[in-house]
Chain A
Amino acid sequence: MEKIAIIGGGIAGMEAARRLLQLGHEPVIVEKSDHLGGHVAGWYKLFPDMMSARELVEQLAAGLDGVTVYYRTRVANMNRLGSGYSVMLSNGVNLQCGAVLISTGFRLFDASRKEEYGYGVYDHVVTNSDLEAWLGGAPDYRIPDNPASVAFVHCVGSRDLKAGNPQCSKVCCMTAIKQAIEMKEKFPQADIWCFYMDLRLFGKKYEDFYIAAQRDHGIHFVRGRVSEVSEDIDGRVVLKAEDTLAGTPVKLSADLLVLMSGMLCNEDTQSLARMVRADVDSDGFMRSRDNIYRINESNRPGIFFAGACTGTKTVPETVGEARAAALDIHNYLSGND
Chain B
Amino acid sequence: MIDFGFGLSRSSSVKLDEVDLGLYHKLEALEPGVRVCMSCGSCTSTCTAGPWSGMSVRKLILNLQRGKDVEKMLSCCMLCGKCTMVCPRGINTRHLILSLCRIYGKKQ
A residues near B (Cβ < 8 Å) are: 116, 155, 159-163, 197-198, 223-228, 240-244, 247, 249-250
B86 contacts A224, C-beta separation under 8 Å: no
Residue in contact with A161 in the complex, picked from B42, B43, B58, B88, CB distance below 8 Å: B88
Which chain A residues border B59 with CB–CB below 8 Å? Answer: 247
The minimal Cβ–Cβ distance linking A93 to chain B, given in whole angstroms, is: 45
Q: Which of B6-14, B33-41, B96-104 contacts A (4 or more CB under 8 A)?
A: B33-41
| Chain A CB within 8 A of B32 CB | no
B40 contacts A224, C-beta separation under 8 Å: yes
B45 contacts A242, C-beta separation under 8 Å: yes
The CA of A244 and the CA of B57, in the complex, are separated in Å by 12
| Chain A CB within 8 A of B51 CB | yes
Indicate whether A224 sits within 8 Å of B41 (C-beta atoms), given known contacts A242-B56, A247-B56, A247-B59.
yes
B90 contacts A241, C-beta separation under 8 Å: no
The minimal Cβ–Cβ distance linking B30 to chain A, given in whole angstroms, is: 20
The CA of A160 and the CA of B36, in the complex, are separated in Å by 12
Indicate whether A197 sits within 8 Å of B38 (C-beta atoms), given known contacts A227-B86, A228-B86.
yes
For B50, the closest partner residue in chain A by CB is: A249
The CA of A155 and the CA of B87, in the complex, are separated in Å by 13
A224 contacts B88, C-beta separation under 8 Å: no
Q: Is the interface of A mostly helix, strand, loop or mixed?
A: mixed
Which chain A residues border B39 with CB–CB below 8 Å? Answer: 244
| Chain A CB within 8 A of B89 CB | yes
B88 contacts A241, C-beta separation under 8 Å: no
Residue in contact with A241 in the complex, picked from B45, B47, B51, CB distance below 8 Å: B45
The minimal Cβ–Cβ distance linking A66 to chain B, given in whole angstroms, is: 48
The minimal Cβ–Cβ distance linking A217 to chain B, given in whole angstroms, is: 25
B56 contacts A227, C-beta separation under 8 Å: no
A227 contacts B46, C-beta separation under 8 Å: yes
A240 contacts B45, C-beta separation under 8 Å: yes
A240 contacts B46, C-beta separation under 8 Å: yes
Give 8 pairs: A residue, B residue, CB < 8 Å, sorted on A: A116-B86, A161-B90, A198-B38, A226-B45, A227-B46, A228-B86, A240-B45, A242-B58
**Chain B CB within 10 A, most for which of A155, A240, A242:** A242
The minimal Cβ–Cβ distance linking B39 to chain A, given in whole angstroms, is: 6
Which chain B residues border A197 with CB–CB below 8 Å? Answer: 38, 40
The minimal Cβ–Cβ distance linking A161 to chain B, given in whole angstroms, is: 4
Indicate whether A225 sits within 8 Å of B88 (C-beta atoms), given known contacts A241-B41, A242-B45, A250-B45.
yes
Which chain A residues border B93 with CB–CB below 8 Å? Answer: none
